[in-house]
Homo-oligomer: A and B are copies of this chain.
Amino acid sequence: MDNLTQLINKIKENDASLFHKDFLLTWDKSDDELKLVLDTADLLQAFYRKNLSARCFNSGLAVSQFRDNSNLDEGKSQIAHGETVRETSNMISFLTEIIGIRDDMFLGAGHTYMMEVGKALDDGFKEGVLPQRPGIINLQCDVDHPTQSMADLLHLKHWFGSLEHLRGKKIAMSWAYSPSYGKPLSVPQGIIGLMTRLGMEVVLAYPEGYGLIREVVERAGIQSDHSMGSFTIVNSMEEAFHEADIVYPKSWAPYHNMERRTTLLNNNDQAGLKELEKECLANNARFKNWECTEGMIQMTKDGNALYMHCLPADISGVSCQQGEVSASVFDKYRIATYKEAGFKPYIIASMMLTNRFEDPAGVLEKAALTARKL
C-alpha cells in the first residue's frame, strides 16, 4: 500500500465533513475537521510531488476579495453598507465555487464582513439567484488567520513527526520589536487559538499594553484546559523562550491602539493618525530588546528551538536597522521558514476541495487512478 493510498484511506476513515461549510475561524471547527484539512493538504502535496494531476474542477471560478480602506464605505450608513454587501456578494457569485476574503485592517470589521457575505450568499442561494452557494475561505481577518495557522501546524506536524508528538511541546508566541507600525493581530491570535488544542504548552509573551482580543485569549485558556495543555501569558520574551521547543517572535500592534486607529480612520482624522503613529513608534522603541537573538535562542530547549515566522520578517541589519530577529538566527532558519510557507498553497487548496466535494478522498482517488492510466 503506497503513500497515496494510505493518505486516501486515512481521510476516508475520518467521519468529519467540511462540505459546504465556510472556513472562517479554526476554533469553529472540530478536531476531526482540522485533521481532514491537514490530511487532504498532505495528499495534495503528495500528488504534486508525484506529478499527478489533482485537477477536479472543470468549470467554476475562485474569486479573491482583498478589502482595504477604500472598500470600507466610510461615511456610508449601515443600511447602505448592507445593500452593497448583498449586491456585491451575489454579483461575484453566479459561476463561483469559492470566495477567498482578506480583510485584516480594522478591528471589528473583517470577521463581521465575512459573516455578512455568508448570510448574503445563503439568501441568494435560497432565493434561486445563485445555482450554488459558494464557499468562503478566510484569507486573514481581524480575529484569525486560519490559512497561516493551519500551514504552521502542518509544518509542525512534519517537523516533529505527528500531531501526537506536539503534546507537551512548549511554543513561545512572542511579540518582537519592529520599526513599523500597525501590524495585524491575526497571526498571534491564530496561533494561540489553534496550538492550545494540541496539548501544547503555549506561552504568549508581550510587553505590557500589547494584549490581544479578549475573546481569543479566553478561548485559548479554555482550549488548553480541554486538551490537557497549558496557556500562560508573560511579559518577558526571556521567560517565554526558556526551554521552548518552538519560538514564534513576531511584531503586532497593541489592541487598544488598533481600536483608536479604526476610529481615526473612520473619521478620516489625518492629524490624529499621524499623532497615533508617532506615539506607537515611540512606545515600540521602548522594547527594542524584544529581539530574537542568538542569546535568546540559547535559552530554548537544548539551545535549538524551531524558529517560525509567517514572512517577511524584520531582520536586524538586513531589512531594517533593528527588528524582530537577528541576521544570524534568521539565516540558520531561513530554509525552515520557506518550508513553513510552502504548506500554505496546499492548505488553501485543501480548504477549497473539502468545501466543494462531499467525498474529497474519493475524488482524489479517482483522479489518481485516471492519472496512472495515462
Say yes or no for A49: interface residue by CB 8 A criterion. Answer: yes
Tell me whether A87 and B318 are in contact (CB under 8 A): no
Closest B residue to A55 by beta carbon equals B58
Residues of B with C-beta under 8 A to A79? 317-318, 327
Q: Which of A88-120 contact B (CB under 8 A)?
A: 90-91, 94-95
Cα distance A79–B331 when bound, in Å? 12
Q: Flag whether A315 is at the interface (Cβ < 8 A).
A: yes
Q: Contact flags (1/0) for A41-75 with B, using CB distance below 8 Å?
A: 00001001100011100110000000000000000
Contact with B along A21-45 (1 / 0, CB 8 A): 0000000000000000000000001
Q: Does A311 contact B (CB under 8 A)?
A: yes
Task: Return chain B residues, CB-CB under 8 Å to A130.
Answer: 342
Residue from the list B53, B83, B84, B312 in contact with A87, Cβ < 8 A:
B312
A196 to B75, alpha carbons, bound, how many Å? 43
Q: Contact at B131–A49, with CB atoms within 8 Å?
A: yes
Of A133-141, A226-234, A270-278, A333-341, the stretch lying at the interface with chain B is A333-341
**Is A282 close to B, CB under 8 A?**
no
A124 CB-CB contact with B under 8 Å: yes
Decide if A48 touches B59 in the complex (CB within 8 Å).
Answer: yes
Q: Does A128 contact B (CB under 8 A)?
A: yes
Per-residue CB proximity of A287-330 to B under 8 Å, as 1/0? 00000000000000000000000011001011100000001000
A222 within 8 A of B: no
- A311–B317 Cα gap in the complex (Å)? 45
Task: Tell me if A369 counts as interface (CB < 8 A to partner B).
Answer: no
A54 and B48 contact, Cβ closer than 8 Å, known pairs A94-B345, A338-B90, A338-B124: no
Contact surface of A with B, Cβ cutoff 8 Å: 45, 48-49, 53-55, 58-59, 77, 79-80, 83-84, 86-87, 90-91, 94-95, 124, 127-131, 311-312, 315, 317-319, 327, 334-335, 338-339, 341-342, 344-345
Q: What are 21 of the A-B contact pairs (CB < 8 Å)?
A: A48-B95, A49-B131, A53-B58, A54-B59, A55-B59, A77-B318, A79-B318, A83-B319, A84-B319, A87-B312, A90-B338, A90-B341, A91-B311, A91-B338, A91-B341, A94-B344, A95-B345, A127-B338, A128-B339, A129-B339, A129-B342
The 8 lowest CB-CB distance pairs between A and B, nearest first, are A53-B58, A129-B338, A127-B335, A90-B338, A49-B131, A94-B345, A80-B318, A83-B318
